[in-house]
Amino acid sequence: MNALIIINDPPYGTERLYNGLRLAHALLKKECDLTVFLMGDAVAGAKSGQKTPDGFYNTERMLKRVAIKGKVLLCGTCMDARGLTEEEVVDGAERSTMDALAEATVDADKVLVF
């Protein structure tokens, strides 16, 4: 199965990014072909160098795990709006476009939005 997860919410403050990444990890265990597309405030979840309190989830680490077997795409316009450069994001995450999101949507068997 080919799945696309689109996430819009910020990395901390709500748990939508966290839960979307939890689902991504579970889908990858099922050998799913997976793309995660971060939009809006969710692109901040791909910022490298995050320091979170002990016992608290860390979206940087979670995205690194997804990038090993899946694809992590970041909305380039959203990155620009937040002053986030390609050099500042986690290894394996790629700057992307709406055209790439449209292509991933057409190719996906399932599209999930958080």
Give the pLDDT of the chain (114 residues) as one tens digit per residue: 999 999 999 999 999 999 999 999 999 999 999 999 999 999 999 999 999 999 999 999 999 999 999 999 999 999 999 999 999 999 999 999 999 999 999 999 999 999
Assign 3-class secondary structure to the chain.
CEEEEEECCCCCCCCHHHHHHHHHHHHHHCCCEEEEEECHHHHHHHECCCCCCCCCCCHHHHHHHHHHHCEEEEEHHHHHHCCCCHHHECCCEEEECHHHHHHHHHHCCEEEEC
pTM confidence score: 0.96
List Cβ neighbours of 57 (8 Å cut-off, separation of 6 or more).
18
Domains of the chain: 2-48+57-113 (3.40.1260.10)
